[in-house]
Amino acid sequence: MSHAKNFFAGPSVLPLSVLEELQKDMVDYKGTGLSLVETSHRSPQYDEVHFKAMNLFREIWGIPDNFKILFLGGGATMQFSMIPMNFLSGGGSCDFTLTGTWAKKAYADATKLGKINVVFDGKEDKYTNLPDPSTLKASEGARYFHMTSNETIGGIQWKDWPETGDVPIFCDMSSDMMSRPVPFEKFGIIYGGAQKNLGPSGLGIVVIREDMLDKVNPDITAYLDYRIHASKDSLYNTPPVFPIYAMSLVLEKVKAEGGLEGVMKRNAEKSALIYDAIDNSDGFYKSPVNPAVRSDMNVVFTMANEELEKEFLAEASRRQMYGLKGHRSVGGCRASIYNSLPVEDVRALTDFMQEFKKAKS
């Protein structure tokens, strides 16, 4: 069976070897006679997988000991609610950077619970640009400073972080989690859905600095309370067993292939290949975003007209290159080139881009 090339934005590419291992162990997990997904989450078999995933996540990304790693249900969207419920209820305020669709979704939920200061809104540039982080300041009394590190739909990515003093940065890193080193000391919370760089969907990962737990709204219900999940190592209730299991296999592979350094090297190669293909196309392919903030994860590009884009997508599909259609809200094309996408698949795409351009010029 040939495996297609997967440029979907999420759920997205998983290593073929991980899919095969999941398939192999799905019915009989390591000779136990049961599948792991029908085994108690209190069993020694699951315990080993759960803590392996957590420990590898910390080790590979270099997360300091004063942060807890939480595995929660509800993906990243759950965190859009959970963060303000924990930190804004009771009249608190926070800062927000409005950088695109995802930041605005997080913002919409936060406005229901507290006062929000918008410190940047990219509306005028149609969310194709980001400010110099050194020009941003946190507001007096803000409980946190919210950012979206990579806008999956708009294809823009913060390359550096603002200096926010005592106000911790809370950041949605759904679509570039563990793709580069992060200065953890600036962050109070880093969160995201697993389904881009790490595993299947349905799993929300939250990296929370321990002192944040002292600031949680004490009247919150159990599942929404970060303190409960932190004190129970994310085993307060039944965790999303399957995505955590799959992620543990992805992380083992990442470690075997050079850890974060290896990821960064492959990602740099992939993004250079595709942006070079765009920039060297004499304007046949165009990137609508400011080159300084181009995403290394989601590459958006357009062509002269929609007809041409349709033809491109149809031919790409014929070649088993899937997921290249831009998000319905912005149109155009988008190649998501997450951590698990092989460099060869990006090379196949850029070869096709050149061929298509030649055929149409």
Ligand X SMILES: Cc1ncc(COP(=O)(O)O)c(C=O)c1O
Enzyme catalytic residues: 102, 172, 196
Which of these ranges, 71-79, 139-147, 232-240, 252-260, lies near ligand X under the rule CB under 6 A? Answer: 71-79
CB atoms < 10 A from the CB of 91, how many?
8
> Number of C-alpha atoms within 13 angstroms, CB side, residue 268?
7
12 binds ligand X, rule: CB under 6 A: no
336 binds ligand X, rule: CB under 6 A: no
- Dihedral sign for Cα atoms in the order 161, 167, 173, 179: positive
Nearer to ligand X, 171 or 216 (CB): 171
Residue 84 tokens, joined? 């303000």
Least gap, CB of 347 to ligand X (angstroms): 25
Is 175 in contact with 127 (CB distance < 8 Å)? Answer: no
Least gap, CB of 12 to ligand X (angstroms): 9
If you ran DSSP here, which 8-state letter would residue 327 be given? Answer: P
84 binds ligand X, rule: CB under 6 A: no
75 binds ligand X, rule: CB under 6 A: yes
Which of these ranges, 75-83, 161-169, 231-239, 275-283, lies near ligand X under the rule CB under 6 A? Answer: 75-83
**Rounded Cα distance, 180 and 259, in Å:** 11
81 binds ligand X, rule: CB under 6 A: no
271 binds ligand X, rule: CB under 6 A: no
Which of 56, 76, 278, 346 touches ligand X (CB under 6 A)?
Answer: 76
Which of 14, 113, 172, 277 touches ligand X (CB under 6 A)?
Answer: 172
170 binds ligand X, rule: CB under 6 A: no
Q: Is 62 helix (H, G, I), strand (E, B) or coil?
A: coil
Nearer to ligand X, 57 or 102 (CB): 102
Which of 77, 93, 129, 217 touches ligand X (CB under 6 A)?
Answer: 77
Angle among Cα 139, 185, 291 to the nearest 5 degrees reads 75
Cα pseudo-dihedral 240, 245, 247, 250, rounded to 10 = -170
Is 107 in contact with 100 (CB distance < 8 Å)? Answer: no
> Number of C-alpha atoms within 13 angstroms, CB side, residue 146?
32
Nearer to ligand X, 148 or 164 (CB): 148
Which of 12, 86, 128, 152 touches ligand X (CB under 6 A)?
Answer: 152
243 φψ region: left (φ > 0), alpha (ψ -120 to 50), beta (else):
alpha
Is 139 in contact with 119 (CB distance < 8 Å)? Answer: yes
Which of 193, 243, 323, 326 touches ligand X (CB under 6 A)?
Answer: 193
Of 271, 352, 340, 274, nearest to 313 by C-alpha is 352
Which of 157, 175, 336, 340 touches ligand X (CB under 6 A)?
Answer: 175
Nearer to ligand X, 152 or 234 (CB): 152
Q: Which residues bind ligand X (CB under 6 A)?
A: 10, 75-77, 102, 148, 152, 172, 174-175, 193
